[in-house]
């Protein structure tokens, strides 16, 4: 069985400051890793994904994440946040491209002016 832990349920940060949203996973097999963003009353939008290859993955809106196999982590980072980044962020894992996603409980990022 696989699981995802998002260590922070809420992260407040000032505009233009850097941010890191933490994600740890557990799985007995190789996994694919994802970060999704959810704006109020909307579905999930893919930010970035790790399938294989380079452990540093760049996504949309200036976000990036680094896969660390030894620490079973996939933390999301952005060097300078904007007000518009305020949203709920979900880390997810799957065992294949046509397999179900297992999500963490989410991190609410609030960017303060």
Partner 1 sequence: GAGVSQSPRYKVAKRGQDVALRCDPISGHVSLFWYQQALGQGPEFLTYFQNEAQLDKSGLPSDRFFAERPEGSVSTLKIQRTQQEDSAVYLCASSHETQYFGPGTRLLVL
Q: Residues in the site for partner 1, rule: CB under 8 A? A: 4, 34, 36, 41-46, 49, 90, 92, 97-98, 100-106
Question: Cβ closer to partner 1: 15 or 95?
Answer: 95
Question: Cβ closer to partner 1: 49 or 77?
Answer: 49
Nearest to 18 by CA among 77, 91, 89: 77
Please tell me the distance from the alpha carbon of residue 66 to that of residue 35, in angstroms, as a whole number: 11
CB of 3 to partner 1, least distance (A): 11
CB of 48 to partner 1, least distance (A): 10
Residue 78, strand partner residues:
19
- Distances in Å between the alpha carbon of 88 and those of 1, 51, 113? 25, 23, 18
Question: Cβ closer to partner 1: 71 or 100?
Answer: 100
Residue matched to tokens 């996504």: 59
Question: Cβ closer to partner 1: 100 or 110?
Answer: 100
CB of 33 to partner 1, least distance (A): 12
Please tell me the distance from the alpha carbon of residue 76 to that of residue 91, in angstroms, as a whole number: 9
How many CB atoms are closer than 10 A to CB 15? 14
CB of 13 to partner 1, least distance (A): 20
């Amino acid at each position: 069985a696989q699981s995802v832990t998002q260590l922070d349920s809420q992260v407040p940060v000032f505009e233009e400051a850097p941010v890191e949203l933490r994600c740890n996973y557990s799985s007995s097999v190789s996994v694919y890793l994802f970060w999704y963003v959810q704006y109020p009353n909307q579905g999930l939008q893919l930010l970035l994904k790790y399938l294989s290859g380079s452990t540093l993955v760049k996504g949309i809106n200036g976000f990036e994440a680094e896969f660390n196999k030894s620490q079973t982590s996939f933390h999301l980072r952005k060097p300078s946040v904007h007000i518009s980044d305020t949203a709920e962020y979900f880390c997810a894992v799957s065992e294949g491209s046509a397999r179900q996603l297992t999500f963490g409980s989410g991190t609410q990022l609030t960017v303060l002016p």
